[in-house]
A and B are shown apart, each in its own frame.
Chain A
Amino acid sequence: MKIVVAMKQVLDPRGFTVNRKAEKIFVNREEWITNPADLCALEAALALKDKLGAEVVVLSGGPARAGDALRDAWARGADRAIHLSDKAFSTADGCVAARILAKAIDKVGAVDLVVCGDRALDTGAGEVGPRLAEALGWPQVLGALDVSVQDGHAHAVKPDGAGYAELEVGLPALVTLAAGANQPRYPHGGRIMESYRQYQPEAWTAPDLGLSEDELKPLVDQRGQSFPPERQRGTLLDSPEELVRLLKRNRVI
């Protein structure tokens, strides 16, 4: 079995503070970490590898720093790490990212399962997973807490109301894992050293994947930032329904 894990790096939110009044972001310590949900996806893939024996291939785009995330993934137990590195990838939006990953997964070949985080810590969009499933023409399970494989089918556990439900999907399929779904393992210290001394992630560029310039043109146009008003405290609500709306609006639930 071959499992692909798609990863991305995000800026560690502990390293910056947002001043809503001044409408500025102060970066005190610029540290890039692997997206927590993607780490859970990697752990799920490695658990499947331990149980069933699988080849785990990690894909990540981004500048040179993405190499750290890939080395970290390799040190944790992945078999192959591939850096999708091309200057043309740097402007990618969700649509282009899904296209790049789909081409890379085609190139890896004979992939049974793709896992990734259900949403990135920074954008929180959760769009690349389903977009990638669409680009591959595969079914999707979003926000799973656990995934197992049995007789050519993936079984995923998802929250369902107050309880949990099991979903079954035929392979190949794409499963996204929620952050906090599992406890990612720690890499062995010696393997971290090895990952920098002896290991070099593979690098694939746009021509390697057969992607033209047109396909890499982003559609989403970023038009700056906006800052929510400072936290309002002491708001009294009239009804529980109003509270539920407020929680949904703030994406707390």
Chain B
Amino acid sequence: MSFADMYGSPSQEPRDIWVVAEVAAGKPTSLTLEMIGGARTMADGLGCYVHAIVLGSGVGELPELVAAGADRVHVGDDAALVEFAVEPYLKVLCDLFTAQLPEIVLFGATPLGDELAPRLAQRFGGGLLTHCASLYMDEIERVLVGTHPVYEGEYSTVAACPQARPEIATVLPDAFGPPYLDSYRMGETEPVTVDLSGVEARVKRVGPVEFTPLEVPLRKARRIVSGGRQAGGFEYVQQLAAALGAQVAGAREAMDEGWITDERVVGVLGETVRPDLYVAIGIRGDMYHAYGIRDAKFVVAIHPEADAPILKSADAGLVGDPAEIVPSLIQALQQ
């Protein structure tokens, strides 16, 4: 007997936690597993079940979802769901949630979640907690409480939707911490009836296009990748900048090497920048350079020497040869 038999017929009483899973390269994304792990903890506190929903075409076996804590995996497999499109995905989710109203729905704070979660919330007349950096269940009130960074992370606001059912949230990575994967956990997989009659994607992808984004001066650029003498060659800087959609700059040494012109120098004698993300590759980071980036929101340093001063002042540092780190970083970015 499965737990669904004990349930009896679907009811309109909102119940259970539903997680909209995302799959990349045949495996659930780490954010999906985290959400299921977090949902498992909440469900154990509330005494309810965790459902995972996977939509796509040719979805294979996903034992990780059950291992992370899902009691039931709903698989919507249809040729029309092969690429993400708002209308078909929304239709399938709405059909599913109309048959059984969930208590909580979790999306990842990814492009898919950003497109679907607000529309779903509006359709169900519900509230939405967006981009939750942390999320917990207030078990006394039985309400989901989310912390949401505002003003680009300067501080956060705490919010809840006590009256809304379902309570919908989009979740940032690390909101729950890594899940406990138990390969002995039992769960069931169930196909979802996909009825897409009269629904088709209204936004069509025409194809790749040549586009020159607005030219922004270096001091106003939102992302900068910068190289120094130990970058091991300027091509790594350029490759990473292309992958991030960032501007290219350098320390003074990069100009001495002839890699950049003088208007691309960051530091006391060059530009003072204030980007959201500044990646310094092979820059030791003397005080002249540090002055130029003192207003940067997030500084990443990649340097072969562990005693480089920039590794102490950067928000995140990686010690190693840029020739090895940058290609694997680009690969990690593309996943």
Contact = CB atoms under 8 A, between A and B. Distances in A.
Given A121-B151, A122-B151, A166 B206 contact: yes
A126 B130 contact: yes
B316 A237 contact: yes
A233 B298 CA distance: 10
A122 B163 CA distance: 25
Interface residues of A, number: 79
B172 interface: yes
13 contacts: A13-B154, A18-B155, A130-B114, A131-B122, A135-B122, A139-B202, A166-B207, A168-B206, A221-B160, A226-B155, A235-B315, A237-B318, A247-B300
Contacts of A233: 312-315
Interface string A214-235: 0000111111111110011111
A170 B325 CA distance: 44
A146 B211 contact: yes
B93 to A, nearest CB: 13
B203 A167 contact: yes
Interface stretch (B57-65, B181-189, B226-234, B239-247): B239-247
Contact of A164 (B115, B160, B209): B209
Given A220-B161, A224-B157, A251-B149, A131 B208 contact: no
A246 B333 CA distance: 12
Interface string A110-128: 0000000000011111111
A165 B205 contact: yes
Contact of A167 (B205, B311, B331): B205
A93 interface: yes
A124 B172 CA distance: 13
Contacts of B122: 95, 98, 130-131, 134-135
Contacts of A130: 114-115, 118-119, 122
B178 to A, nearest CB: 11
Interface stretch (A50-58, A63-71, A176-184, A204-212): A176-184
Nearest to B331: A240
Nearest to B297: A252
A245 interface: yes
A203 interface: no
A22 B151 CA distance: 18
Given A124-B152, A169-B203, A252-B276, 14 more contacts: A94-B118, A122-B150, A124-B149, A134-B123, A163-B209, A165-B207, A167-B206, A181-B213, A183-B214, A222-B158, A234-B312, A235-B314, A236-B311, A243-B332
Nearest to A120: B150
B173 A249 contact: yes
Interface residues of B, number: 82
Nearest 4 CB-CB pairs, A to B?
A219-B127, A139-B202, A240-B329, A130-B118
Interface in B127-154: 127-131, 133, 145, 147-154
Contact of B131 (A125, A157, A223, A252): A125
A222 B209 contact: no
A170 B202 contact: yes
B213 A145 contact: yes
B87 interface: yes
B159 A222 contact: yes
A123 B155 contact: no
Nearest to B210: A164
A219 B129 CA distance: 10
Contacts of B161: 219-221
A170 B30 CA distance: 35
Interface in B281-323: 297-298, 300, 311-319
B161 to A, nearest CB: 5
A8 to B, nearest CB: 14
Contacts of A213: none
Contacts of A243: 300, 316, 318, 329, 332
